[in-house]
Amino acid sequence: MPEPKKESALRQSLGAFAPKLVDLTDDVLFGDVWARTELAPRDRSLITVAALIAGGNTEQLPFHLQKARENGLTEAELIEVITHLAFYAGWPKAMSAITVAKAVFQQ
């Protein structure tokens, strides 16, 4: 008998409020897109962190910075990404991102 699927943290926090969005996130985004073999998880994390910084979406950064570390990116590499993006995405976005990164890395 197969073991029941572990409930995601997102499902625990938002599943009752936005079940379809949680289904799409768990099943399509993380269950399919992130599982594709055409890019390594490390590369997907690098791209995702860069996109979040460029878009100014710092509320999503803590999760993805941690995921990036789990996928093999170092804190030094992630700080370098933020520094590099200051010139392409904007100084305020980089400063906001580095503040989030510092808090995440100190945990």
pTM tops 0.85: yes
User: Residue 4 pLDDT more than 80?
Assistant: no
Closest of 5, 25, 13, 107 to residue 66, by C-alpha: 107
pLDDT per position as a tens digit, 36-53: 999 999 999 999 999 999
What does the domain layout of the chain look like in residue ranges? 9-38, 39-107
pLDDT per position as a tens digit, 50-89: 999 999 999 999 999 999 999 999 999 999 999 999 999 9
Tell me, what's the pLDDT at 7?
86
User: Residue 100 pLDDT more than 80?
Assistant: yes
Closest of 31, 32, 10 to residue 21, by C-alpha: 10
CATH superfamily entry for domain 39-107: AhpD-like (1.20.1290.10)
Tell me, what's the pLDDT at 11?
93
